[in-house]
Amino acid sequence: MKVTVKYFASIREAIGQGIELRDTSATTLAALRDELLAATPAHAASLARGRAVRMALNQVMCDETAALSEGCEVAFFPPVTGG
């Protein structure tokens, strides 16, 4: 299936792109994250399991168990703090 993946803030800077259309066999956010971890060293460093990474599916915050569907939008971004 095809999904749109968006990267924000420091993740976007590390990966070098803000958006990509990706063909995937992943059915959950966790599986997509694993697929991306194997994509490039920059993806592996930015999305590593030990790092705090927030995820959204179709603009709704989700955990990794969320199911993907054809044409969905996935976003990865670091936690945001304010002051």
Tokens 């936690």, residue located: 79
What's the total number of domains in the chain? 1
Q: What pLDDT, on the 0 to 100 scale, is given for residue 82? A: 59
Task: Identify the CATH number of the domain in which residue 61 sits.
Answer: 3.10.20.30
Residue 11 lies in a domain: yes
Residue 54 lies in a domain: yes
Residue 82 lies in a domain: no
Residue 83 lies in a domain: no
Q: What pLDDT, on the 0 to 100 scale, is given for residue 79? A: 82
Residue 24 lies in a domain: yes
CA nearest to 15, candidates 80, 79, 82, 78: 78
**Blockwise average pLDDT, block size 10, the chain, 83 residues:** 96 94 96 96 93 94 96 92 58
Residue 58 lies in a domain: yes
Domain that holds residue 50: 2-77
